[in-house]
Amino acid sequence: MDLEKKVKKMGLGHEEGFGAPCLKCKEKCEGFELHYWRKICRNCKCGQEEHDIPSSNEEDRKVGKLFEDTKYTTLIEKLKNDPVYKRNVMILSSPVPAKKNITIDTVTYEWAPPVQNQALARQYMQMLPKEKQPVAGSEGAQYRKKQLAKQLPAHDQDPSKCHELSPSEVKHMEQFVKKYKREALGVGDVKLPGDVEVRAPDENNLKNGGGRGTSSAVGTMEKSPNRKASQYHCKLNMKEGDPAVYAERAGYDKLWHPGCFICCTCSELLVDMIYFWKNGNLYCGRHYCDSERPRCAGCDELIFSNEYTLAEGQNWHLKHFCCFDCDCVLAGITYLTVNDKPVCKSCYMKNHAVICQGCHNAIDPEVQRVTYNNFNWHATRECFLCSCCSKCLIGQKFISVEGMLFCSVACKEKMMS
């Protein structure tokens, strides 16, 4: 299968991603070109989320699929039988006095809490850090887009987005996804603390293993506007009149400031308030899955096979423990690590090895070398020598000037004159 077909199979065609610059390393990226199983750009090695790729439709389909077969079906709609996220876009208009006429200043939020009270949604937005408010065309909108890709990778929920899963792996993944939708997935609820109804746990649900506030725990409800709810993250009190975020699976006796509704692992805002609840903690989708299954450091997918390898402190599919540069399988051969990525010796020598100032050849990582002021030499009589008289300097005092070596002040002055 050629590269283009592989790319389209992974869900990204030329029209959606090719040519998009990398926001992280614009100087060296020629445009986004998806590696067919690594989920990164073949040109700059950065993730898709680092590239300026128009992907709102794809992201809405991804979130729609996440909410399919859950209690959150009100947040999706069917388009050609595919579930699509009904993202709540909020447009605020305010008059601005001008010299002659009053103009209208319009601000569009690419996402806002799905509440009927727009004033409450506006309050919520103003309580987020300004650089994380998803105003269209802003740094905050770019942040939301990046977190959607990072926190909710499509390959954590859809086997068709994964690389060559076996029928057994597909089955195990589908069971895993059903389980986390049933037991952990939730969407935050924005309310004023005084308006919250407390849900008492249902005894039958507790006997069946459910907990307070889960989607299956209906129980009885009581109004308690004067109770003291605990601020679950920062432990600071809520200001009167400020909205709070609640997580049904945590129970309505716990609440969060809008800016405190974050993943317990990466500490990033939970994108669109989508959370996963486990052992008293909020997780984003990625880190919840990481707490349940090993993740392959090569393809970024969860591992559902019985056999995988552990190397360099990370987990790998057997077929994905490959050179980061040329993709050759590394099992049984010498490799080195560059920025925590495994690289075969051939690619290391070609692309990453330091250069000897003496012979101007790459230095084999397994041979001795001398390093001084970011310059390197083979530790041999032929390379580590005086630039003037060629005296061997191994074990001798020397003077270094911009990568040149001298055995004495006389040699230095003679060479530099």
Q: Please report, for the domain that includes residue 408, its CATH number.
A: 2.10.110.10
Work out the average pLDDT over 292-315.
95
Per-residue pLDDT reduced to its tens digit, 347-382 = 999 999 999 999 999 999 999 999 999 999 999 999
Number of domains in the chain: 2
Greatest mean pLDDT range, 25-34, 91-100, 186-195, 197-206: 186-195
Whether pLDDT at 204 is above 90: no
Query: What is residue 58's predicted lDDT score, i.e. its pLDDT?
Result: 87
Whether pLDDT at 155 is above 70: yes
Percent of the chain whose pLDDT exceeds 90: 65
Environment class of residue 374 by beta-carbon count within 10 Å: exposed (0-12), middle (13-18) or buried (19+)? exposed
222 pLDDT tier (thresholds 50, 70, 90)? very low
Whether pLDDT at 34 is above 80: no
Q: Which two tokens stand for residue 389?
A: 């008289």
Per-residue pLDDT reduced to its tens digit, 325-353 = 999 999 889 999 998 899 999 999 999 99
- 282 or 219: which carries more pLDDT confidence? 282
User: Which of 95-109, 254-268, 388-402 is predicted least confidently?
Assistant: 95-109
Environment class of residue 54 by beta-carbon count within 10 Å: exposed (0-12), middle (13-18) or buried (19+)? exposed
Q: Where are the beta strands (DSSP E) in 161-292?
A: 185-187, 189-191, 197-199, 221-223, 230-231, 244-246, 254-255, 274-278, 281-283
Which 3 state secondary structure label does DSSP give 364? coil
In a domain, 45, yes or no: yes
User: Which of 137-146, 163-172, 220-229, 263-272 is predicted least confidently?
Assistant: 220-229
In angstroms, rounded to a whole number, what is the distance separating the alpha carbons of residues 181 and 69?
Answer: 8
Query: Kind and range of the H or E element at 404?
Result: strand 404-406
228 pLDDT tier (thresholds 50, 70, 90)? low
Query: What is residue 417's predicted lDDT score, i.e. its pLDDT?
Result: 77
73-84 residues labelled b (16+ CB within 10 A) or e (exposed):
eebbeeeeeebb
| Domain interval for residue 15 | 11-54
Percent of the chain whose pLDDT exceeds 70: 80
318 pLDDT tier (thresholds 50, 70, 90)? very high
55 pLDDT tier (thresholds 50, 70, 90)? low
In angstroms, rounded to a whole number, what is the distance separating the alpha carbons of residues 363 and 272?
Answer: 50
Work out the average pLDDT over 42-56.
74
What angle do helix axes 139-151 and 56-67 make, rounded to 10 degrees? 50
- 69 or 230: which carries more pLDDT confidence? 69
Query: What is residue 5's predicted lDDT score, i.e. its pLDDT?
Result: 41
- 70 or 22: which carries more pLDDT confidence? 70
In a domain, 385, yes or no: yes
Query: What is residue 3's predicted lDDT score, i.e. its pLDDT?
Result: 39
Query: What is residue 332's predicted lDDT score, i.e. its pLDDT?
Result: 86
Work out the average pLDDT over 246-251.
95
Phi, psi (5° rounding) for residue 160?
Answer: -70, -15
In a domain, 219, yes or no: no
195 pLDDT tier (thresholds 50, 70, 90)? confident
225 pLDDT tier (thresholds 50, 70, 90)? very low
Please name which of 357, 366, 368 lies closest in space to residue 405, comparing C-alpha atoms. Answer: 357
In angstroms, rounded to a whole number, what is the distance separating the alpha carbons of residues 165 and 299?
Answer: 12
Q: Residue 140's Cα: distance from chain center in Å?
A: 16
Query: What is residue 205's predicted lDDT score, i.e. its pLDDT?
Result: 37
In a domain, 69, yes or no: no
Helix ranges (H only) for 250-351 are 285-292, 345-347
Mean pLDDT of the chain: 84
In a domain, 38, yes or no: yes
235 pLDDT tier (thresholds 50, 70, 90)? confident
Work out the average pLDDT over 150-171.
95
In angstroms, rounded to a whole number, what is the distance separating the alpha carbons of residues 311 and 314?
Answer: 5
In a domain, 32, yes or no: yes
In angstroms, rounded to a whole number, what is the distance separating the alpha carbons of residues 340 and 142?
Answer: 27
Environment class of residue 117 by beta-carbon count within 10 Å: exposed (0-12), middle (13-18) or buried (19+)? middle
Query: What is residue 199's predicted lDDT score, i.e. its pLDDT?
Result: 55
Of the residues 35, 54, 73, the one at which a domain ends: 54
- 302 or 230: which carries more pLDDT confidence? 302
Work out the average pLDDT over 7-12.
40
In a domain, 130, yes or no: no
- At 396, which amino acid appears? Q
258-to-88, 109, 163, 241, 357 alpha-carbon distances in Å? 17, 16, 37, 13, 56
In angstroms, rounded to a whole number, what is the distance separating the alpha carbons of residues 407 and 303?
Answer: 58
DSSP one-letter string for 23-41:
SS-TTT--S--B-TTTSBB
415-to-146, 203, 258, 358 alpha-carbon distances in Å? 55, 90, 67, 16
Per-residue pLDDT reduced to its tens digit, 79-129 = 877 899 999 999 987 666 665 666 667 899 999 999 989 999 999 999 999
In a domain, 380, yes or no: yes
Whether pLDDT at 206 is above 50: no
